[in-house]
């Protein structure tokens, strides 16, 4: 517990360092994944043709009606095509998992997030999102374990990974008009929420703050 609390206290410092570090890295194109070098032209053309024109329904998923929820399926089709061509693309697994969860297919969502964690175990949001899904399915012990792991992760790695993801995360971040400050604050708040959920959950699974945390917790688009 002391170790986790120490991580939480220092997360602000980590995020500040990450902010400066990533700002410098952002200036160099060499840090970004170059999809053109990874795929044959034919497959690249397929992905470009299947790429959604907008990520509006993905970004505003909590505010769209049930009829429009089906539009999430086109995102799933795109992400699963990426997985077919680039099996080690963690972002595609995570985003597909996010879509499946919103469509009420929790088992598929959990499966995709587990795969995303296998590929990139240092990305905070995969642990956080999967933890939320577990908690909402009353798998409290499994969920708490994921929040514990999430709290021990260096936030700098998560921010760096988001900014390196030109193909999948950059279009979403751009459409949301998120700056590096916004990404940093989003992550900082999630660390805080994770600590509250975890700390109260290990004390008492019936603790009001733990139960409230489960109710209020929402997946982020990662």
- Fold that domain 2-216 belongs to in CATH: 1.25.40
pLDDT of residue 118: 98
Task: Flag whether pLDDT at 198 surpasses 50.
Answer: yes
Query: What is the chain's mean pLDDT, rounded?
Result: 85
Of 195, 170, 194, nearest in space to 2 by CA: 195
pLDDT of residue 8: 54
Give the mean pLDDT of 133-145. 95
Task: Flag whether pLDDT at 3 surpasses 60.
Answer: no
What proportion of the chain, given as a percentage, has pLDDT over 90? 63
pLDDT of residue 37: 55
pLDDT of residue 76: 95
162/130 Cα distance (integer angstroms): 18
Of 109, 85, 81, nearest in space to 95 by CA: 109
pLDDT, tens digit (0-9, with 9 covering 90-100), for 83-121: 999 999 999 999 999 999 999 999 999 999 999 999 999
Alpha-carbon distances, residue 222 vs 155, 188, 196, 204, 213 (angstroms): 14, 15, 21, 29, 20
Task: Flag whether pLDDT at 157 surpasses 90.
Answer: yes
171/165 Cα distance (integer angstroms): 9
**27 in helix, strand or coil?**
coil
Token pair of 123, please?
């990305």
Identify the residue with better confidence: 17 or 33: 17
Cα 191-204-123 angle, rounded to 5 deg: 25
pLDDT of residue 62: 81
What proportion of the chain, given as a percentage, has pLDDT over 70? 82
pLDDT, tens digit (0-9, with 9 covering 90-100), for 25-84: 444 343 334 455 556 777 777 787 778 889 999 999 888 787 788 889 999 999 999 999
The residues spanned by each domain of the chain are 2-216
pLDDT of residue 30: 37
**178 in helix, strand or coil?**
coil
């Amino acid at each position: 517990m002391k170790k986790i609390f120490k991580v939480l206290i220092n997360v602000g410092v980590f995020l500040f360092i990450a902010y400066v570090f990533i700002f410098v890295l952002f200036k160099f194109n060499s840090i970004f994944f170059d999809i053109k070098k990874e795929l044959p032209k034919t497959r690249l053309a397929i992905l470009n043709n299947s790429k959604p024109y907008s990520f509006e329904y993905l970004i505003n998923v909590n505010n769209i009606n049930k009829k429009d929820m089906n539009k999430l399926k086109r995102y799933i089709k795109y992400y699963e095509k990426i997985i077919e061509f680039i099996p080690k693309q963690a972002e595609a697994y995570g985003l597909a998992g996010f879509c499946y969860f919103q469509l009420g297919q929790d088992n598929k969502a959990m499966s995709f997030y587990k795969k995303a964690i296998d590929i990139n175990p240092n990305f905070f949001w995969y642990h956080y999102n999967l933890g939320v899904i577990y908690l909402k399915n009353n798998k409290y012990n499994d969920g708490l374990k994921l929040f514990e792991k999430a709290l021990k992760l260096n936030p700098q790695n998560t921010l760096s990974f988001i900014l390196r993801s030109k193909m999948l995360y950059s279009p979403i971040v751009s459409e949301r008009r998120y700056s590096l400050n916004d990404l940093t604050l989003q992550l900082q708040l999630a660390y805080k929420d994770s600590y509250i959920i975890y700390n109260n959950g290990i004390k008492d699974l019936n603790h009001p703050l733990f139960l409230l945390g489960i109710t209020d917790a929402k997946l982020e688009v990662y």
